[in-house]
Structure 1
Amino acid sequence: MNILAIDPGSTSTKIGIYFDGKIYRSKVEHLDENFLKLKNVIEQKDFRFDHIKRYLKESTFEDINFDAIVARGGLVKNIEGGVYIVNEKLIEDLKNGINGEHPANLGGILASEFSNIYNCPAFIVDPPIIDEMWDIAKITGVSSITRKSKFHALNHKEVARYIAKEKLRKNYDDSILIVAHMGGGITIGLHYYGKVVDVNNGLDGDGPFAIERAGTLPVDGIVEYLKNENITPDDFLKIIIKSSGFYSHLKTKDMIEVENMIRYGDNKAKKVLDAFVYNISKEIGGLFAAAKGKIDGIVLTGGLANSKLIVEKIKNYVGFMSEIYVVPGEYEIEALINGAIRVLKGEDNAKIYE
């Protein structure tokens, strides 16, 4: 079977082609001046479509007849995880940004357009707003405020399935794992028999602080900051998502630079990194308690899982809880293609978005 995978990012689109049993990756950059002037994500659709079409035409995959097009899911309604058929309702909600604007919103739309060309089905897999959380995990001390499920669902689920199959010799649906995705944002979730039943909303800055995200903040500090800076909630949200975390403390978003600062004796950098690791470990510990201590393993993934320093520091905190598995990087293209393969092979049923 032949599959085209589409994963839109802010100024590029990752492409994966499954052909002859292998995955071929590429990235199409969108740095055209006219593209960068576009006001919103939906206006980028034609640019991205033309760039992907041109790539396919100029590549060695021009004459492939695809059996499925699969794309990263966007900020649609809160739904359970799985593979979904791209239908009119899904496209409508992606265009309207029903749960917010994000480049991933173009995934299902682009998949639909290419599926029309190749006369094959279009799917999305595990969008970032899948909601499988326990009800008690959503309740807060203010009745009108609930915790939301927004996280790196695609990579979370893929590495959890991999560890369950290859290391535990179990099905994902029979496993209990704590997965920590550590990248530009940090999301840590409890995967409980195939469902992510508790996870921090890393997209909006909840949980441990990250490279540029603030993480959970004390309420009194938020109130005081808003008063002193005299800014709107929208402006504050931009700050906690784009210019907080390591950047707020050390004025860099490069973790290699942070480690070099520590190597050359920068005590402030060391203290911030130690706090970073401490907060991640505390989040893992909370989910360990939520699982009543009965877990099959802890998985560290994302770009920062490449850091031996960070991994070893986390192991020093939580290594006593369970076996720790390290799967560095992200596997979104694999997750998309594997999701489509499961459906095409009849191992999983594609769900209907309503």
Structure 2
Amino acid sequence: MKNEILVCNSGSSSLKLDVFRSGEALNYLASASVDRIGQSDGPKSELKIEIENGQTHKEEGVFEDHRSALLRISEILEKENVFLNDHRMAVGHRVVHGGPTITRPVLIDHEIEKTIDECSIYAPLHNPANLNGIKVARELFDCPQVAVFDTAFHAQMPAPARTYAIPRELARKHGIQRYGFHGTSHGYVAEIAARNLNRALQDLNLITLHLGNGASACAIHKGISIDTSMGFTPLEGLVMGTRSGDLDPAIVAYLQEKEKLIFQEVDTLLNRQSGLLGLGGASDMRDLLEKEKQGDQDAALAIDAFCYRIRKYIGAYFAAIGDPVDAIIFTAGIGENSPAIRQRVMDNLFADRIYFDSAANEKRIENREGNLLTREHSPVAVYAIPTDEEWMIARLTRDLLV
């Protein structure tokens, strides 16, 4: 029976796979990952596979390309009776950027491949790697292939939120607009929140906070993304692990002049050397919290700036949504696992309508529904919900085919 879906997330030198069985529910079957693909010098690649029955497989080797890595993973999975040829329903691919034209999951053909390639100008670090994984999977697996785009969830943003105030002809010529990212994650936790609240998503107003090394906020009105903090690129918005987030654009020209930097150097500075790393000397929030305990003032400022920016966006999104907000959702690495950051973000924030429960905030998350972090009768609920982008990609892939 063709009821298994392989979810593929292809990076420039890595490959992450998950397999789900489709039935009344989508059930996890296996996961696999391999790193250092195409890197012959240094340590060997490490391949890891975990099967839902508890079986694990680890090996080291040299993988010249994604094809050899995916072929080896497929061989091991087939020995465990996972994703056999007559079980293959589809392969769902994570693709970061769909540009202005692709606004939903799509069946992949040569025209879609061409569009993904053309959108590499917007996401040069991601789309080429995603496309490479697509081409390899289409060669190896004779089943439908579906592309699910990070940008698609935000495709219905109204024009005032989507538009930058630059000459319109220039924006149209170069496709410059707010696209937003982390859409699969924002969409997933919004659906879980709707289930928790026992209400239809299209009736809900939510603010979702995807807080990891990359971080973004999203305003959801009646189930639709109406604004999000990341913009034309993932650089805009919240303070992130190594990205600056919101910045006066004049700073770019100023630094180029004063530090004699070329554009590529400024781009590296803002994307890879700024954010928490630039402010506090570490990109990992756990390290910064530890440094703060030891009296490091730079670390304390980095954390405060991170939380302040989130609070600022929450306030703005209350205004953007207009109607009463039903819930705020924390997700991703920091959002799910850092009670200290959640507490600092929510401390006395709209206390007249958010009855934050500090004791509930300290509890460990133990299921996919997450934890409710507000007291009974709080007009606005607050949740910490684990994201599961792979499950969501599998669900969207199945929905498109069925």
Shift of 1:216: 1.0
TM-score by length of 1: 0.85
Counterpart in the other structure of 2:228: 199
Residues 312 and 85 (structure 1), Cα distance of their counterparts in 2 relative to 1, 3 Å cut: same
1:327 paired to 2:356: no
| Kept after mapping to 1: 8 A contact 2:161/2:227 | yes
TM-score by length of 2: 0.76
For residue 104 of structure 2, the aligned residue among 82, 98, 106 is 82
1:63 paired to 2:84: yes
Shift of 1:173: 3.0
For residue 211 of structure 1, the aligned residue among 237, 241, 258 is 241
Count the aligned residue pairs: 335
* Amino acid paired to 2:31: R
Counterpart in the other structure of 1:233: 263
Shift of 1:294: 2.0
Shift of 1:271: 2.3
| Kept after mapping to 2: 8 A contact 1:11/1:31 | yes
| Kept after mapping to 1: 8 A contact 2:205/2:220 | yes
Residues 35 and 125 (structure 1), Cα distance of their counterparts in 2 relative to 1, 3 Å cut: farther
Counterpart in the other structure of 1:188: 217
Distance across 2 between alignment mates of 1:243 and 1:11: 21
Structure 1: give runs of 5+ residues left out of the alignment.
37-44, 347-354
Counterpart in the other structure of 2:369: none
| Kept after mapping to 2: 8 A contact 1:91/1:109 | no
Indicate the SS of the match to 1:311: helix
For residue 34 of structure 2, the aligned residue among 22, 28, 34 is 28
Indicate the SS of the match to 2:331: strand
Deviation readout 1:216-267 (Å, 9 max, x if unpaired): 1124444432221122233212211111011112222222110101122223
Distance across 2 between alignment mates of 1:19 and 1:141: 46
Deviation readout 1:312-333 (Å, 9 max, x if unpaired): 11111545452111124x4221
Counterpart in the other structure of 1:338: 395
| Kept after mapping to 2: 8 A contact 1:70/1:111 | no
Distance across 1 between alignment mates of 2:72 and 2:397: 24
Deviation readout 1:24-44 (Å, 9 max, x if unpaired): 2221223442499xxxxxxxx
| Kept after mapping to 2: 8 A contact 1:14/1:26 | yes
Structure number with higher relative contact order (C-alpha < 8 Å, ≥ 6 residues apart): 1
Shift of 1:304: 0.9
For residue 171 of structure 1, the aligned residue among 181, 189, 200 is 200
Shift of 1:18: 1.0
* Amino acid paired to 1:99: Y
* Amino acid paired to 1:101: P
Distance across 2 between alignment mates of 1:156 and 1:342: 18
Distance across 2 between alignment mates of 1:175 and 1:80: 25
* Amino acid paired to 2:125: H
Residues 46 and 190 (structure 1), Cα distance of their counterparts in 2 relative to 1, 3 Å cut: farther
Deviation readout 1:46-74 (Å, 9 max, x if unpaired): 81122012111023226353111111023
Question: 1:1-354, aligned counterparts within 5 Å?
Answer: 1-19=3-21, 22-23=27-28, 24-34=30-40, 47-59=65-77, 60=80, 61=82, 63-64=84-85, 65-79=87-101, 81-96=103-118, 97-107=120-130, 110-111=133-134, 113-115=136-138, 117-128=140-151, 130-144=154-168, 147-164=177-194, 166-201=195-230, 203-305=233-335, 306-318=337-349, 320=351, 322-328=380-386, 330-344=387-401, 346=402
Distance across 1 between alignment mates of 2:281 and 2:135: 41
Residues 168 and 46 (structure 1), Cα distance of their counterparts in 2 relative to 1, 3 Å cut: farther
Distance across 1 between alignment mates of 2:192 and 2:104: 16
Q: What is the aligned-residue identity percentage?
A: 20
